[in-house]
Amino acid sequence: MGVSKRRQQHAALVAQLVAVKEKQQLLHEESLAFAMDPIAPEKAAAQRSLRSLCHLTPEVTVLCAQTGAVVERVANANDVAEKMTRDVRRLDVIQSRLSVVLEQSAQLLDAAQRVSRRSTCHAAAEVPGSCYFLTDT
C-alpha cells in the first residue's frame, strides 16, 4: 500500500506540474500577444499618460524656474526689510538724541537771552533813564 500511495502522490504532483507549465505557457503567450498588439487598451492608456507627461514637462520646468525666482525675490525682499528696519532704528536713535540736544540748546539760548537782557539792563542802569524800555521777562 505504501508504494501505490507514493505513486498516487507522484501522479498528482506531475499533474500539478503539467498544469503549472500550461498556465505558464498561456501567460507567456498572452504577454507576447500584449507586447505585439499596438492597440491594447492598457498600452493606449500608458501611451496617453506618457504623452501627457512629456507635454507637461516643459511647463513644470518653467514653473520650477519661476518658483525659484519668486523664492529668491522673497529672500532679497526680506534682506532689504531687515536692512531698512536696522536703518529706521538707527534713525530713531539719532532723532531721539537730536531732540534732547535741541531741547538743551533751547534751554541754553533762553538762559543766554536772560543773561544778555540782565547785562543790558545793568549797563543801561548806569545811564539815568536809559533802562526805561527794557523789561525782564
**Contact criterion met (CB below 8 Å) for 119 and 131:** no
Local structure of residue 17 (DSSP, 8 states)? H
* Ranges of each domain in the chain: 1-37
pTM over 0.75: no
Place of cell 505513486: 7
- Which uninterrupted H or E stretch holds 126? none
pLDDT in tens, 26-57: 999 988 888 888 787 888 888 889 999 999 99
Angle at CA of residue 40, ends 36 and 43, nearest 5°: 95
